[in-house]
Amino acid sequence: MLTQRLLLSDRGGMLVLGLVVLMAIIVPICNLALPSSSPFYISNFTVGLLGKFLCFALLALSVDLIWGYAGILSLGHGAFFTLGGYGMGMYLMRQIGDRGVYGHPELMDFMVVLNWEELPWYWQGFDMFWFAMLMVLLVPGLLALAFGWLAFRSRVTGVYFAIITQALTYALMLAFFRNEMGFGGNNGLNDFKEILGFDLAEKATRAGLFVASAISLVLGYLACRYIVTSRAGRVIVSIRDAESRTRFCGYQVESYKLWLFVFSAMLAAVAGALYVPQVGIINPGEFAPLNSIEMVVWVATGGRGTLFGAIVGAFSVNYAKTFFTTYSPETWLFILGGLFVLVTLLLPNGIVGLFDRFRRKGDK
Amino acid sequence: MNPLCRITPRHTLHALLLWLICLSPLQVSAQTPESEPDAQSAAAPTTAQPSFEQLVQQLAGGSLRERAATVKQLSSQRDERLADIFNALVAGDLLANKEKPPTIAIREGEKLTDALTGTDLTGTERLRRIPVNNGLRTQLRGQVAQLNLSHPNTDKRYAAVQRFIRDGVDEETASLLRAHQEVEESGRVQDAITTALAVFQLQSGDREIRLAAIDELSGSLEQEARNALRGIAENDADAELRAAATEAIESIQGRISFYRFVENLFFGLSLGSVLLLAAIGLAITFGVMGVINMAHGELIMIGAYTTWGVQVLFPDLIEWSLLIAVPAAFLITALVGIAIERGVIRFLYGRPLETLLATFGLSLVLQQAVRTLFSPLNRSVSSPEWISGALNINPVLSITYTRLYILIFGLMVFFALMLVMKRTTLGLKVRAVSQNRAMARAVGVRSSWVDALTFGLGSGVAGVAGVALSQLTNVGPNLGQAYIIDSFMVVVFGGVGNLWGTLVSAMSLGLINNFLEPYAGAMLAKVLVLIMLILFIQKKPKGLFPQKGRAAAD
């Protein structure tokens, strides 16, 4: 019954999930088991890149959930992603221990530079993995709860909501740039050594993180799918299409939006937490409003309102970004900008919509 | 002091002097009482006197003693060029060559000017420094101070008085200052002289005079006055004088903090005017038309680049460049805006989120286009002479002209826009279309044409703002990004569709930001303002001054 609801009725989703699972099996094997001379060998760089894309896909999923299904455009989802990343980063920093440049058993290098005497209270407990992961979920979740509660209760919608979320991430960026905040200022957190006792420079650890990202993506997808196919999911779609009418029918529009927003923020935070150990750095630049808008473009390009479309979008736009920034960095912004315009003008349903159109033509 | 000398242009004076010298003794004696009433120089214009030019040229040669004599002769001359020549001589910046007659030049940094004719020199004249010794320097300093005191430039006179205070005032200089105070026109220099005299009186033996001097100084804002008072408050033997001095210092501190407040107020308003300029175009496109134009910042950037372009195209017209750039920037950005409206936004009316994304894409394209066309580096835009410098109101309060002009300019643009919206046919049509598109079309308004023109107007104003901002910040491809979030905040805070609201919100945001800065630091002040705004929008989603009535309906 549940399989029918989550998977079988969703052919595109099954296809995309199948590809993700396949990738999660093949990529680590080709990376670890094959010698680097083999034509099927997948380099460490590619594993890292694909792992990054998997995190972005999870992030795109969280954006699509609120934008595609509830019509809430958040231009500040990067804030939740980065906060999650900082949570993981703080755990990884505490794991460095006395192996930092200054060799202090407890303080981070940047705290030693600032002449701090002891660990700030908000860094306490981050040496425990379970606590750090709890915070990864709780901090962005609570921020989304407070922010969403204030915003939805006073019926801030549409463009206004988009602009204040953008201001939120902008304000966080400015705040995290300050050294006094205790998050490493401009340089952020980096130079990580190990996670759960596994060396981060080790090939197997990286492959493990890759598999973890793929599993998170699949679980995240199923959770989102569960939500949108539930009764509550239908209410959410009806809020997107006719908010006032749904309210008049007696539904608590605000609480539906709020809990969906909180869930989406936590999903973004998980993506951030998986992203940080794979790229090895987190800094306030991730809060930049441009990043948050890029996420929206992934979703728009892939196909807004279909969950697997978000995954397709995240992979294709990021692949294009990697390709163009490597071979012709000048043109990347032209292409990204052009993509914004073209997708909104010509492809309102994204790549997935394009396939649908072809298929419908074929059916005729 | 001869008033005729001060106001007569240089060459007329020379003609007059030459004429005097050539005339018969009878006429000379008839003329002198009027033109040379000063007793010291009354004897000067006899027929055997060398001219000013000859004396200056004499400085080049001869021994140090002869030079001292020449200086003495020169100091009895009343010539406007004298102050500059003496200043240069003291500083070792007066140069001469070995020609007959020699060229005398004044060096100012890298620049060489002929001391007599005022023309620029090329530096090929084999110029050498005219040597001076310490004795001559002391003699010159006194002369220079006196000369500077009667300099036509207010700032020079002010600096001369300050130098007197710093070097200590004696009986002789005090009488000189007293004499000058009567003819001084600038209030600022008057105040400085009063301070100098009071500082002098502080040294007097009479207790009453000293008390009166302290009383006088309690109204002065000069740094030197405070130093003198502090000396008395801490070290003087007389307890009453100490108390009086302490009280005077306190009263000065009170006045200083008042002027600091005024300065903060001005800076806040100036910041507000920058926000106003950045946001006002958006108040039209977003506020009136409801179009989210994320490329607004890039339109500002194009305006700033236009200023740079004007300066590159017409390097001789730097003084006029801003006046040329304002209409040019308006036209260029208005055309770009109309192109954006016709090309993209037209298809997205009624879909604000899509408009937001599409225009954001355009902003990326425009940024990259500028980066590719010009370079990713900042361009240097120079400021015309008339906009640089500062207005010194008193020793603790000075206002830079750039900020003052931008404040005025911002308000001018605002009121001009107000006028367009309220008093012209275009404004009427714009308001009609924004209130009820169908009805406006029904009575014959070409709504699509109005849309394009309105968007062009808003974009043009953004370009004009860019011209003003080019005088304050770096002109580079990222210029626009820095302003886009702030601009939206201003418009949303003020209330969408309300131009007055935009004015009030820009000014109050500028003031809040500026008054928070000393306590929280620039970065945190900005964060606090953003958080405040986010909370404010929750409380009043329609801004400070929401639209009322039918226009408010979405």
Token digits of residue B148: 């500077």
The span from the CA of A182 to the CA of B204, in Å, is: 59
Dihedral of alpha carbons B312, B313, B319, B322, sign: negative
Q: Which residues of A touch B538 (CB under 8 A)?
A: 150-151, 153-154, 156
The interface predicted TM-score of the complex, written ipTM, equals: 0.82
A355 Cβ contact partners less than 8 Å away, ≥ 6 residues apart? none
Query: Mutate which of A66, A149, A155, A164 to disrupt the B interface (most B C-beta within 10 Å)?
Result: A164
Beta bridge partners of A271: none
pLDDT at B9: 47
Residues in CB range of B36: below 8 A, 6 or more apart: B2, B42, B44, B45, B78
Residue spans of alpha helices (H) in A252-328: 253-279, 289-302, 307-327
Report how far residue A36's alpha carbon sits from residue B161's, in angstroms, rounded to the nearest whole number: 83
Cβ–Cβ gap B348/A344 under 8 Å: yes
How is residue B284 annotated by DSSP?
I
- The boundaries of the domain holding residue A240 are 2-288
Determine the residue of chain B that is closest to A338 in CA distance. B361
Helix crossing, B522-539 with B499-520: angle to 10°?
140
Contact B527 A155 (CB under 8 A): no
Tell me if A338 and B367 make a contact (CB, 8 A cut-off). Answer: no
**Alpha carbon separation from B506 to A156, B209, B271, B502, B543 (Å, rounded):** 22, 52, 8, 6, 12
Residue B281 Cα, gap to closest chain A Cα (Å): 17
The answer to whether B524 touches A175, Cβ cutoff 8 Å, is yes
- Cα–Cα distances (Å) from A59 to A85, A294, A299, B489, in that order, read 12, 11, 10, 27
* A155, part of any domain: yes
Contact between residue A200 and residue A193 where contact means Cβ atoms under 8 Å apart? yes
Q: How far is B273 from chain A (nearest CA, A)?
A: 21
Backbone angles phi, psi at A119, to 5 degrees: -65, 130
**How far away is chain B from the Cα of A319, in angstroms, using its nearest Cα?**
18
| Tens digits of pLDDT across chain A (364 residues) | 677 777 777 788 889 999 999 999 999 988 888 888 888 888 888 999 999 999 999 999 999 999 999 999 999 999 999 999 999 999 999 888 888 888 888 888 888 888 888 888 899 888 899 999 999 999 999 999 999 998 898 888 777 888 889 889 998 998 999 888 889 888 889 888 888 888 888 888 999 999 999 999 999 999 999 999 999 999 999 999 999 999 999 999 999 999 999 999 999 999 999 999 999 999 999 999 889 988 998 998 898 888 999 999 999 999 999 999 888 888 888 888 888 888 888 888 888 888 888 877 776 6
Chain B residue nearest residue A329, CA to CA: B368
Tell me the shortest Cα–Cα distance from A169 to chain B, in angstroms. 10
- Interface residue B364 vs chain A (CB under 8 A): yes
Q: Would an 8 Å CB–CB cutoff place A1 in contact with chain B? A: no
Q: How many domains does chain A have?
A: 1
Residue A252 falls inside a structural domain: yes
| A-B contacts (CB, under 8 Å) | 117
Cβ pair B364:A333 closer than 8 A: yes
Q: Which helix (H) or strand (E) holds B104?
A: strand B104-108
Q: CB of A146 within 8 Å of any CB in chain B?
A: no
A49, part of any domain: yes
Closest CA to A182 of A254, A91, A112: A112
Q: Minimal Cα–Cα distance from A207 to chain B, Å?
A: 35
pLDDT score recorded for residue B149:
74
Residue in B with minimal Cα distance to A158: B353
Axis-axis angle for helices A158-177, A77-96 (nearest 10): 30
Quickly tell me which residue has 């998986």 as its tokens.
A274
Which amino acid does the sequence have at B355? T
Report the C-alpha gap between B466 and B305 in whole angstroms: 8
B362 CB within 8 Å of a chain A CB:
yes
What local confidence, expressed as pLDDT, does residue B548 receive?
Answer: 63
- Three-class SS state of B95: strand
Residue B425 tokens, joined: 């046919």
Across B348-369, b (16+ Cβ under 10 Å) vs e yields: bbeebbbbbbbbbbbbbbbbbb
Helix (H, G, I), strand (E, B) or coil at A194: strand
Residue found by looking up tokens 């010698």 in the block:
A35
Give chain B's residues under pLDDT 50: 1-10, 12-13, 15-47, 552-554
For residue B473, the number of C-alpha atoms closer than 13 Å in the C-beta half-sphere is 23
**B393 sits in which H/E element:** strand B390-394
Q: Let me know if residue A294 belongs to a domain.
A: no
Residue A359 resides in a domain: no
Cα–Cα distance list, B100 to A346, B103, B104, B130 (Å): 83, 8, 11, 16
Say whether residue A348 is in contact with chain B using an 8 A CB cutoff: yes
Q: B400: which strand partners?
A: B390
Q: Give the model's pLDDT for residue B36.
A: 40
CA distance A333 to A343: 15
CA distance B305 to B470: 8
**Residue of B483, B517, B530 best to disrupt the A interface, most CBs of A under 10 A:** B530
Q: Which of A12, A14, A16, A15 is nearest to A3 (CA)?
A: A14
pLDDT one-digit tens code per residue, A49-80: 999 999 999 999 999 999 999 999 999 999 99
Q: Chain B: nearest CA to A243, how far in angstroms? A: 14
- CB contact under 8 Å between B357 and A340, yes or no, is yes
Q: In Å, what is the CA distance from B427 to each residue of B318, B319, B418, B440, B499?
A: 35, 34, 9, 13, 13
Which residues in chain A are contacts of B485 at CB distance < 8 A? Answer: 163, 166-167, 170, 289
Contact B533 A167 (CB under 8 A): yes
Asked if A198 contacts A212 with a C-beta cutoff of 8 angstroms, the reply is no
A316 domain residue, yes or no: no
Nearest CA in chain A to B292: A159
Give the dihedral sign, CA B130/B136/B137/B139. Answer: negative
- DSSP string covering B321-352, please? HHHHHHHHHHHHHHHHHHHHHHHTGGGGTT-H
Question: For chain B, first and last CA: distance in Å?
Answer: 75
Distance CA B132, CA B84 (A): 16
Tell me which residue of B92, B244, B246, B186 sits closest to B393, measured CA to CA. B186
Predicted TM-score of the model (pTM): 0.76
Cα torsion angle, B216, B221, B224, B227, sign: positive
Q: How far apart are CA A167 and CA A75, in angstroms?
A: 9
Tell me how far the alpha carbon of residue B405 is from its chain's centroid. 8
Q: Distance (Å, rounded) from C-alpha B249 to C-alpha B227? A: 9
Q: CB of B368 within 8 Å of any CB in chain A? A: yes
The total number of residues shown for chain B amounts to 554
Tell whether A297 is within 8 A of chain B (Cβ): yes
CA pair distance B37, B49, nearest whole angstrom: 18
User: Considering the domain boundaries, does residue A239 fall inside one?
Assistant: yes
CB contact under 8 A, A334 and B347: no
What spatial distance separates the first Cα and last Cα of chain A, rounded to whole Å?
Answer: 32
Interface check for B48 against chain A (CB to CB < 8 A): the answer is: no
Residue B506: the pLDDT is: 93
Specify the 3-state DSSP secondary structure of B262: helix
Task: Identify the H or E element spanning B73.
Answer: helix B64-75
Q: Does B258 touch chain A (CB under 8 A)?
A: no
Q: Does residue A175 lie within any of the structural domains? A: yes
Which candidate, A71, A27, A46, A19, places its Cα nearest to that of A221? A19
- Cα–Cα nearest to B214, from B224, B199, B204, B227: B199
CB B229 within 8 A of CB B245: yes
The number of residues making up chain A comes to 364
Answer yes or no: are the C-beta atoms of B366 and B302 closer than 8 Å.
Answer: yes
The residue type at B83:
A
Structure tokens at B317: 């017209």
Report how far residue A209's alpha carbon sits from residue A98's, in angstroms, rounded to the nearest whole number: 25
What is the pLDDT at residue B138?
75
